Structure 1
Amino acid sequence: MLTTSRFHLRMWPVWVSTGALLLLWLGCKWAYDDWFDDGYKYVAKAASLSATALMCWCVVLSARFRVMEDHFGGLDKVYQVHKRLGKALCLVIALHPAFLAAHRLPDPVAFLSYFTPALNPADSYSLGLYAGTAAMILLYALVGISLRLFMRYDQWKRLHELLGPVFVVVMVHVYLVHADVARYAPLRVTFWAMLLVSAASWVYIRFLYGRFGPRHAYEIERIESIGEVRELTLRPLGSPMNFKASQFVYLVIRKPSISPEPHPYSIASGYSLDGRFKLGIKEAGDHTRSLGRLKAGDRADVYGPYGRFSQPFFSRGMDCVFIGAGIGITPFIGMWHVALHTEERLRSLEMDALLKARHPELSGDWKAPRITLFYICKDRTEASFDDDILAQVASSPFGGQESARRAGYEYVLHESRQSGRFGVEHIERAVGERFAGRLFFLCGPTTMMESLCSQLLRCGVSPRDIIVEDFNLV
């Protein structure tokens, strides 16, 4: 099933760079007047070049570079592109050996014998073939297991990091076979530059990110547990992290009894000048359960912030509908806070240009959009952030829900056991049928978001006005 992120994936740099590589290859064939006698080889070579380009993109996209996040519209979109490229890579790479051996058909024995050549350590081409076969087998195993999340997150993450060694085996294969890449200087320089950039990206995220990434030192100031959700309030120990409402961070706990694996969690609060923020974490695996050992005063490293979910909220000036299900409510808490506290902003004279540029929500010059917030859960006992949402209303200049509703800020707790499955009919009850001119923000289970996106599209909502946070990687 396609994910809702299909509305916003900017894949064109991948296809343009891959196409440019293929055009360079064909240009070299023409310039060197070096054409194949076997027509099947054109498909085989095009597949190998395309597959290598896709693998390079997969490695670079996994390194959490800000420039990639800025272009693709958020780290969740980066990961969605990464996932799709991994699947496409498996399909494309299979064409390479198949078409290299296609001239042996229709003899099936001769065709299959191509894939089991005699190993000659003195023959670099033979070694290259074995390296290529090994890389393809490892790649299929890696992608197959990565798409079947039946293991713990830390095990899955360590397995996923094996893409680097697979990449090295591919480089060995390219070097040993002495094919077109070795013969044509322009292609050779471009190809190896691409490989080296990708290798450097893997080294960075695997070995250097922990020390040189966007790290901030924090301590756990307060811990609240409501059902299966644990709310952590963190206080900076040095320079505070500069974040926008709805962004997320990678949290690394510095405590021997808790795994130091970085895990992503959404910030469940608005920006404050003192740098404090809250995380909402649902118990869903070994690591999140181990956070029960946390105590106030424990140290943590926070990497980030990441995410561009709230960017349209701040920039497009349109009324908004927020729909958060379960722990998917957390990105909306900060934006809800920002919108409600419209009268508690700084005057422009009190803000320097940099702060005003980064945080329009702090400036009295920025006009908050009207919001209808839906919090979807099975019943009220699972609505762990209901108190936070209501407290924001009570502490705002509106002072209560009725005054906030009259001003255009409405909160609806949808209990599915009582009110049924959430759909556009529930949105219509709150906002009427005036869907045009509104932004719809969704975060929660993929099946729910897929269903709501389909319903909204049928109601005439533009895909551009549907914004999702989607970390489903299956």
Structure 2
Amino acid sequence: MEISMRNSVLPVIAYAALALVPLAVVTVFGSLGGYADYIYELGRSFALIVFAVLLLQPVLAGRFREITEPYGLDMVVNFHKYMGVTALCLIIAHPLLLALGGRGLKLLTSLSVPWEIWLGKAALLLLLIQAGASLFRKRLGLDFERWRRLHDILAPTILVLAAVHSYFIGGDLKYVPGMRELWVVALLGSAGVFVYHRFIRPKRLPRYTVRSVEPAAQNVWTVTLAPPDGRSPRYEPGQFHFLTFRSDHVPEEEHHFTISSSPTEAAIIASTIKESGDFTRHVGSIAPGDTARVHGPFGRYSYVFEDAEVPLVFIAGGIGITPLRAMLRHMADTGADRRVALLYACKTEADIVFRAELDALVEGDRPRLDVTYVLSRPDEGWSGSRGHIDTALIRECCAGMLDEAVFFVCGPEGMAKAVLGSLTELGVPMSRIRREEFLLLD
């Protein structure tokens, strides 16, 4: 599935254009630039940009394929985070610049200000709370569902407060024809995207049926789903999806999981899930006949997007083997003649997921696969590699591949960072390293 340069550039151009529309309209048709104080003008400009950026945040978070497909959902969500931080910085600077540009410090310190300004201060306070909760969620002890509920309350509230504040206090909105109407239409459009993404689309997603739930390793389960129409789902090996199970055994919450099956496996789609949290510790209790709503696929973490002649190095830790298994199974089923080195780290031998299948693939001729298992807590009888995947092991297992291979890294955060450090030490550029980060999705 090849994405053209044109398709990857157009969303960026569209975002920049939409974010700058209010500023451009006011600059051309309004009084922006008419004040002598540059600092004051900058403060007004920041306000116009901030409101446009906030309106576009639900669009970035809405998982629209036209936006996510060229880049991967993880990159779009990270951009969503960075633009939220950018908006926060600009909205903090906005009143400071107005005060320094002629409005005086009483704008910041006085309690005797119009109600419209109080709404702006409230929006700023709530945006600070939202940014803090998002950036430091785990340190604050917020699980994902509680954070998302808080986010879903604060985000529209901030938008409404900012819209009302600017609608009544913004001189440009009063005197530039059509600006107030543009404000209302833009707010309604952004609200509509939010409502569609959070409430309407989830009800319209296809409901798959759980075909089987089988153990894949110690405390690891493969949940296999059958689509409602009996057709094989369309996805690329290595992608992920969002699942919302309807079962008596797990909460009806949406969670993302890698697709561990291959598109070559007819009329099913599967995820292999480790018991590791409040939700996943019950996954083994999901029963055949239960159902799940499926949203996806997402991501560009797949060998099919790489040059067919380039060798591949897969480096996995624990349950991070799942997208790599999907790719290897796809290579085997399609007869892809790829050279692949797999370095797979686990704690114990019982934690190795897909052990039998990986060993069988090594015995085949396509792909040309070498597997190195690395155990950090091996039993006495273990004769393979011990410890962790480090620079020396990568150099040993990837002899002759370091200068040309594309590296796919998937595993726990600490392990992935250590591997990235080793690859950098070995001179592998970031342009040949593939990694999907889900820090904002879990």
TM beyond 0.5: yes
Q: What's the counterpart of residue 27 of structure 1?
A: 28
Say whether 1:133 aligns with 2:102.
Answer: no
Percent same amino acid at aligned positions? 28
Change (3 A) 1:129 1:111: closer
Distance 1:288 1:310 in 2: 25
What letter matches 1:327 in structure 2? Answer: I
- Counterpart for residue 99 of structure 1: 97
* 2:373 equivalent to 1:413: yes
Relative to structure 1, the CA distance from residue 112 to residue 197 in structure 2 (aligned partners, 3 Å threshold; closer, same or farther) is: closer
Verify the 8 A CA contact 2:209 2:288 in the aligned structure 1. no
The residue aligned with 2:417 is 450
Residue 109 of structure 2 corresponds to which residue in structure 1? 113
C-alpha distance in 1, partners of 2:324/2:250? 28
Within the alignment, does 1:295 sit opposite 2:290 as a pair? Answer: no
Match among 334, 341, 350 for residue 381 of structure 1: 350
Instruction: State how far apart, in whole Å, the 1-side matches of 2:184 and 2:365 are.
Output: 59
Contact 2:345 2:374 survives alignment (8 Å): yes
Counterpart in 1 of 2:83? 85
Q: Give yes or no for contact 1:48–1:93 (8 Å, CA) kept in 2.
A: yes
- The answer on 1:285 being equivalent to 2:283 is no
Structure 2 contact 210–287 (Cα < 8 Å) conserved: no
Alignment partners' CA distance in 1, 2:116 and 2:357: 60
Check 1:427–1:97 CA distance in 2 against 1; reply closer, same or farther (3 A cut): same
Distance 2:91 2:340 in 1: 48
Match of 1:363 in 2: none
Alpha-carbon spacing, 1:170–1:112, altered in 2? closer, same or farther (3 Å): closer
Q: Does residue 199 of the first structure (1) align with residue 196 of the second (2)?
A: no
Check 1:466–1:33 CA distance in 2 against 1; reply closer, same or farther (3 A cut).
closer
Distance 1:179-1:382 versus aligned 2 partners, 3 A rule: farther
How far is the alpha carbon of 1:54 from its aligned partner? 2.5
Give the TM-score normalised by structure 1. 0.79
Give the partner amino acid of 2:274: K
Q: Give the stretch that moved more between structures: 164-173 or 313-322.
A: 313-322
Q: Distance in 1 between matches of 2:150 and 2:162?
A: 18
Distance in 2 of aligned mates of 1:434 and 1:225: 31
Q: Post-superposition shift, 1:18?
A: 3.7
Q: Distance in 2 between matches of 1:249 and 1:35?
A: 51
- For 1:469, the equivalent position in structure 2 comes to 436
- Give 1:60 deviation, angstroms: 0.9
Residue matched to 2:380: none
- Contact persistence 1:440–1:466 (CA under 8 A): yes
State the alpha-carbon separation in 1 of the partners of residues 265 and 274 from structure 2.
Answer: 27
For the residues of structure 2 that align with 1:99 and 1:225, how far apart are their CA atoms? 59
Query: Cα 1:25–1:467, aligned 2, differ >3 Å: closer, same or farther?
Result: farther
Cα 1:436–1:137 shift into 2, 3 Å:
same
One-letter amino acid of the counterpart of residue 130, structure 1 = W
Superposition deviation, residue 192 in structure 1: 5.0
Shift of 1:333: 1.0
Equivalence for 1:222: 213
Measure how far apart 1:312 and its partner are: 4.8
Gaps of at least 5 residues in structure 2 are 1-7, 378-384
Deviation of the 1:187 alpha carbon: 5.5
Q: Where in structure 1 are there 5+ consecutive unaligned residues? A: 1-7, 119-125, 344-366, 394-400
CA shift digits 1:109-168 (9 cap, x unpaired): x36434x334xxxxxxx2321221111111111221122222222212212222123222
Give CA-to-partner distance per residue, 1:37-68, whole Å, 9 cap, x none.
44332221222222223323322111111011
| Matching residue of 1:69 | 68
Taking only aligned residues, the RMSD between alpha carbons, in angstroms, comes to 3.0
Match of residue 325 from structure 1 = 317
Given that residues 321 and 372 in structure 1 are in contact (C-alpha distance below 8 angstroms), is that contact kept between their aligned partners in structure 2? yes
Query: What is the 5 A alignment of 1:169-318?
Result: 169-185=161-177, 193-213=185-205, 215-224=206-215, 226-240=217-231, 241-272=233-264, 274-310=266-302, 312-313=304-305, 317-318=309-310
1:361-411 deviations in Å (ceiling 9; x for gaps): xxxxxx4422112222223222233234335x2xxxxxxx35549x63112
Contact 1:171 1:195 in 2 (8 A): yes
Match of 2:4 in 1: none
Cα distance, 1:34 vs structure 2? 6.2
SS of the aligned residue for 2:279 comes to helix
Q: Which shows bigger deviation, 444-453 or 87-96? A: 444-453
Superposition deviation, residue 298 in structure 1: 1.7
Higher relative contact order (CA 8 A, sep 6+): 1
The match for 1:427 among 394, 400, 410 is 394
Residue correspondences, number: 421
